[in-house]
């Protein structure tokens, strides 16, 4: 059964937020998911783009307060 980890990147500026999300996802097994809390604006655009470039899948994206909650699935 796939696992789901959580990572709060609220207040973390670009490009550090993308790097931290990618590093955390790389520590997971293929098929596992990472739920990421992001600020609105550039982080909500840049992190999904970085994940997609690395071959990972955006499973869901929803507003939460002033930011976003995005779930990514690790791909090999």
Binned average pLDDT, 10 residues per bin, the chain of 76 residues: 93 96 96 98 97 97 96 94
State the pLDDT at residue 76: 79
State the pLDDT at residue 2: 80
Tell me the C-alpha distance between 47 and 4, whole Å: 18
CA 66, chain centre distance (Å): 17
Phi-psi region of 48 (alpha: psi -120 to 50; beta: other; left: phi over 0): alpha
Domain 4-73 has CATH 3.30.110.40: yes
Evaluate if pTM is beyond 0.85. yes
8 Å CB contact between 68 and 62: yes
Q: Where are the domains of the chain?
A: 4-73
8 Å CB contact between 32 and 3: yes
């Amino acid at each position: 059964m796939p696992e789901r980890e959580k990572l709060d990147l609220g207040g973390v500026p670009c490009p550090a937020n993308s790097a931290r999300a990618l590093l955390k996802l790389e520590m997971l097994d293929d098929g596992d998911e990472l739920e990421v809390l992001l600020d609105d604006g550039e982080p909500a655009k840049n992190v999904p783009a970085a994940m997609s470039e690395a071959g990972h899948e955006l499973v869901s994206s929803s507003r939460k307060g002033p930011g976003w909650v995005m779930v990514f699935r690790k791909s090999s």
